[in-house]
Amino acid sequence: MTRFFTTLLLVSGLFATGQTMADELPPGGGAPGAALMRFFEALQAQDIDRIAAAHPELGAELKAEPHRAFFFITALTPTNPTIVGGSMSGHNAKVLYSSEHGNDYVSMNRAQMERVGGQWLIKNIHLNCGKGC
């Protein structure tokens, strides 16, 4: 099968299922990457209101259980996060980032983002997802 027909079949299959091809994020992650980095800054500052603005679900949990907030924040705060890639399709984005750990270990992580009302919000964060990112 020629490359043209293989591509045609792939694209027609995507449209038939309602999926679209994702665009690569620019270096630094573009607007979704910037929103994720602001979230990390809020974690480092332990600012629950700013955390809630970026990740409403986590913010609600932290406000509902303030005695556990420090544990959640400490567990989620990455060390030297770096945006390494990602993709965006419509109002959804996947931002890949690395973070450092002790003993020179660097983990690959993923944040699922959604644009709501012009603002990029975090839907999910997958820590240490490795090649499965």
**Domain annotation for the chain: domains and CATH numbers:** 23-132 (3.10.450.50)
Place of tokens 């644009």: 115
pLDDT in tens, the chain (133 residues): 444 333 333 333 444 434 456 899 999 999 999 999 999 999 989 899 999 999 999 899 889 988 888 887 887 788 899 999 999 999 999 999 999 876 778 889 999 999 999 999 999 998 777 666 6
Q: What is the pLDDT of residue 14?
A: 41
Which residue in 124, 119, 116 sits closest to 95, CA to CA?
124
Report the alpha-carbon distance of residue 71 to residue 80 in Å, rounded. Answer: 19
Q: What is the pLDDT of residue 67?
A: 83
